[in-house]
Structure 1
Amino acid sequence: MPTYKLYYFDVPARGELPRIILSAAGQPFEDIRFSGQEWPKYKPKMPFGQVPVLEVDGQMIAQEYAISKFLARQFGFCSEDNLDHAREDMYVFLSEDIYVKVEEIFHTRDDKEKSEALKKKFVNETGPVMLSKLEQALSKSASGYLVRGKLSWADLAVFSNLGVMEFILPTESVNLLEHCPNIRRNMELVRRNPNVNTYLKQRPSPNA
């Protein structure tokens, strides 16, 4: 059986989706977390000098979505039907679009004026529009899942990426998701997955 090691900073961000997929699968893995101060000792070992990186029996895989899709395929969270597979990817990358907007707000936090302007635009314009697309898709789902009526990497990506939104913009996220009952239902389904729930209870408190 393969052994898995995941390298990433001790924050949710781009390492969280691989962690959640591995956890949802019930797959033991070595969760190697480190601070920014510790990063220089890991960086030379990384294929592209960045993280996240997944090590599988000594083979290193870089890039969040290369890692996540490999794991989703490995553990049955990707559809074998090509059209359903594309639909899963569609929702994964919609949630990534939301993540990117939130990440930009976080990375400009030292420039208060710019960060506040980005936050205002996200909360009042881009965020509601993007979330409405997810909400609309989920409103048509009897199961509460995005594709095939079962848990897929699309649901896990939405949970992970919107979880980062909740971490960075806690108050604003409550207001944004107040009008998205189907997104909240979808995220709750993932949260209640026994393996994911165990991971969430045991993961270290993140450091910004």
Structure 2
Amino acid sequence: MQKLPIFRDNALLQRALTHSSYINEYPAFGEDNERLEFLGDAILNFLSGEFLYKRYPQKPEGELTPLRSALVDESQLAKFAIALNLGPLMHLGRGAEINGGRENPNLLSSTFEAVIGAYFLDTGSNIEIVRNYVEPLFQAIADTLVDTAAQINFKSRFQAWALAKVGQNPKYAIIAQSGPDHAREFTAEVRVADQKYGEGKGHRKQDAEKSAAKQALETLGLL
């Protein structure tokens, strides 16, 4: 499991963990983490784009862009922050503390960005060290994001066609399942206005639905 990076300059780390609400109450503490957050955001956008470009050489720009957004959006960065246990380490003002700031996705994601910005400075602006730190985080979720994006893409594309041409949303149903519990296979079909357009199989229900939507698009000549 990934751990918080080791800092040579602990003051830099503490600044990364300091929310503006804390500085408002304790101005003598120093600077808040907003400038580090700005830097970390830029670094994460660059490294996530580079990571996806290298990992998925066959994907066009139109598929890589939403993947990059998902890899570094607020909810995902908050999950990284939780995995690193940043919540209890943050310096928050009383109001932010009372309002659940340590569990707030916005504050968690911002703090994670600030930590990455601070780590970049702490390493002497060595992007290679920062890359080696964040890439395992990206690798742990990349394929899941790709799978989710593919499901959304096939199903949303077929939904768009169904609404435009038929005026109704597709309806998915699991029509069969087979195999033992540890290797269950589901069969799904998709219908629009009671007409069947596709059928697909998968080891998860959502995979079967995705496969059905893909077959429907193929049948319609849209893939």
Fold-level similarity (TM above 0.5)? no
TM-score by length of 1: 0.26
Larger relative contact order, structure 1 or 2 (CA cutoff 8 Å, min sep 6): 1
